[in-house]
Amino acid sequence: MVLVFGGTTEGRKAAEVLEEAGSPYFYSTKTGEQDIVLHHGTIISGAMDAAAMKSFCHEHDIRLVIDAAHPFATQLHETIVSVCSDLHAPIVRYERIYPPRDPGITWIDSYDELPALLSPIPKGKEGSYTLLATTGVQSISKLRPLEAMGIKVCYRILPRESSIRLAKAQGAREEQICYYEDSKDINVDADAILLKESGISGGFPEKVTAAKAKGMRIIAIKRPGLLFEHTVNGPHGLRRAVEKLLPEFFPLHSGLTTGTCATAAAIAQSSRLLHGEMPAEVPVLLPDGETIMVPVGYSDGRRSTVNGQRSIISDYAYCRKEAGDDPDVTNGIEVRASVERSETFQILGGEGVGTFTLPGFDYPPGEPAINKGPREMMRSNIRENVKITISVPGGKEIAKRTFNPRLGIEGGISIIGVSGIVKPFSEEAFIESIRKCMEVAKASGAERVVINSGFKSEQYLRALYPTLPAQAFVQYGNYIGETLRIAHELSMPDVTLGVMLGKAVKLAQGHLDTHSRKTIMDKDFVGRLLVEADCSVDASNITLARELWEKIPSDKLNGFAHTVIQKCLGHCKPLLPNGRLTILLIDDNGNIYDLKT
């Protein structure tokens, strides 16, 4: 059994990850006031001291603890470490993502530094100098001494009864209390503001920006130094940590994309070349902003002497592809990276990496088949100007068992990956996970559920529906038909289906499972769609459906989008006979088409 200490944004994300497993777990908060809906988790509330925590863990056979509590909950962190040490239970710390420390901010380690820092009060401000404290009700007693110095302190707290009671119990007067309308806005005029280093999820960058706009002096308390053996800062890393420490919790395990493997190998070899370091694991920054640790290896670096100079040959780092429980022909391959110093940043393809021979991909024909996502990952992870050559021994033979030859990728495999992580593919398990997510979406009370294919489309749709809770967005992968049938079984009244063109043209033809193992784009059918939409475009030479966005004249795009959506509705609406179905067609730039456009 798993026990999560939450009550935070990270706690909510941890619960979302654990819900995917379908296994029971416990979710603990101090006050029980966090608005969260769980399907497989049991919510418990109330503070636990060491004895209570140890007793709970014994009683419920807790074998893994996830500490996703607020970074400043120091006492709780210390209690968790102490109890888990006694019980020999591993801890995963779900940490926040923090921006670099701004030198324009005054950084302090404790509240004790404030009196000296704010003394003397600037001339002309005696009796009127105001400090806005956004550090929470627990800090009020620590700030009371500032009032004796003639500083007016305004305490900004959450507008809930427990916070108000605690604030007044610590001596805060009614006129000193203000409330969060938007946690990232500053709605009080003050000379200085006191912040906690609360990270990106705590709105720290936005608060700093708002305070600077008001000309405030910014003082920030540094986050406590937390030492945990296992630390993650995002959902992918958390899932991988749970899979490693408690393998039976998830019925299927995740893996790494070839893009992540290539990036890890490139980071490792860059570290070897530029710094003489050869770590066994390297940190890889993923597209969603989180960082995961990826194991790597190195060549022996055989040496030879040329013209009296010793040099290294066959010098590379590698990362072995792990597909998890996804049936992938590339599982176990070795993705290698050789790195050389260079005047510019370059990415090349070596042995076993295919070449684009047709238009329609992220890069033109002749370029190595390394997609935009992996290239951007390498650039964001490696700041130095180097020339990286990615190679995959045996890649040419492996590629023959993929769709690459049909897509015009020749000579090897493609290096791909949008999120950096491979979610396990098992039709039965995947559909069951969709069902669980749909049940959670319904239980959240959201006005509609928004189903989408994955990371990229969901980003665009979340921006379109900013007020919907996270649980309202459910990824169907390729199982559009199954997802709509589940929506019907659960009597969901409003469903929005977001789809990008590659899947949309398959769906428009009646393919309710759009996986490339089941179906590929039918160019003749696409041609008929274009004729019906009065678009004089030749589709016979396209490789990917998304090329059409560039080929179709701008004045014909709405008509084409309407034609595609109507075809999709014809196949999808019968699966949701009692609900309202909205289909949104999304292009590569996030533009969204519906039947009203």
pLDDT surpasses 80 at 311 = no
CA atoms of 271 and 464, how far apart (whole Å): 41
Beta bridge partners of 56: none
Which residues are within 8 A (CB) of 11 and not within 5 positions of it... i.e. 6 or more apart?
4, 5, 27, 29, 34, 36, 68, 69, 94
> In a 3-state reduction of DSSP, which class is residue 161?
helix
Q: Where are the domains of the chain?
A: 2-98+227-245, 106-221, 255-422, 427-593
pLDDT bin (cut points 50, 70, 90) of residue 218 is very high
> In a 3-state reduction of DSSP, which class is residue 378?
helix
255-422 has the same fold as 106-221: no
pLDDT tens, position by position, 586-596: 998 889 999 87
Torsion of CA 257, 263, 269, 272, to 10 degrees: -110
pLDDT surpasses 80 at 364 = yes
pLDDT tens, position by position, 93-122: 999 999 999 999 999 999 999 998 988 888
Give the pLDDT mean for 166-192. Answer: 79
Beta bridge partners of 94: 232
| CB-CB contact of 40 with 27 (8 Å) | no
The answer regarding whether domain 2-98+227-245 maps to CATH 3.40.50.720 reads yes
pLDDT tens, position by position, 233-267: 999 999 999 999 999 999 888 889 899 999 999 99
Give the pLDDT mean for 42-64. Answer: 93
The region, left, alpha or beta by phi > 0 then psi within -120 to 50, assigned to residue 171 is left
pLDDT surpasses 90 at 78 = yes
Higher pLDDT, 309 or 481: 481
Q: What is the pLDDT of residue 181?
A: 67
Higher pLDDT, 409 or 314: 409
> In a 3-state reduction of DSSP, which class is residue 277?
coil
Three-state secondary structure readout of 21-78 = CCCCEEEEECCCCCCCCCCCEEEEECCCCHHHHHHHHHHCCCCEEEECCCCCCHHHHH
pLDDT bin (cut points 50, 70, 90) of residue 312 is very low
Strand order in the sheet with 130-133: 106-108, 217-221, 192-196, 130-133, 152-157, 177-179
Q: Which of 175-184, 211-220, 294-303, 528-537 has the lowest mean pLDDT?
A: 175-184
pLDDT surpasses 80 at 41 = yes
CA atoms of 290 and 489, how far apart (whole Å): 36
Give the pLDDT mean for 351-374. Answer: 86
pLDDT bin (cut points 50, 70, 90) of residue 360 is low
pLDDT surpasses 90 at 87 = yes
pLDDT tens, position by position, 528-568: 999 999 998 888 888 888 889 989 999 999 999 999 999 99
pLDDT surpasses 70 at 89 = yes
Q: Which of 129-143, 372-386, 515-529 has the lowest mean pLDDT?
A: 515-529
| DSSP summary character for residue 254 | -
Average pLDDT, the chain: 88
Q: What is the pLDDT of residue 438?
A: 86
With 0.75 as the threshold, say if the pTM is over it: no
Beta bridge partners of 152: 130
CA atoms of 135 and 143, how far apart (whole Å): 10
Higher pLDDT, 397 or 308: 397
CA distances from 534 to 446, 508, 512, 524, 541 (A): 39, 17, 26, 15, 19
The region, left, alpha or beta by phi > 0 then psi within -120 to 50, assigned to residue 182 is beta
> CATH fold of 106-221, please?
Rossmann fold (3.40.50)
CA distances from 589 to 157, 317, 456, 457, 466 (A): 39, 35, 10, 10, 18
pLDDT surpasses 80 at 328 = no
Percent of the chain with pLDDT over 90: 55
Q: Which amino acid appears at position 515 of this protein?
A: H
Options 3.30.2110.10, 1.10.260.40, 3.40.50.300, 3.40.50.720; CATH for 255-422 is 3.30.2110.10
pLDDT bin (cut points 50, 70, 90) of residue 499 is very high
Q: What is the pLDDT of residue 185?
A: 66
Give the pLDDT mean for 349-357. Answer: 90
Q: What is the pLDDT of residue 376?
A: 93
Q: What is the pLDDT of residue 516?
A: 60
Percent of the chain with pLDDT over 70: 94
Higher pLDDT, 324 or 40: 40
CA distances from 574 to 47, 442, 515, 519, 580 (A): 50, 21, 21, 21, 11
pLDDT tens, position by position, 11-21: 999 999 998 88
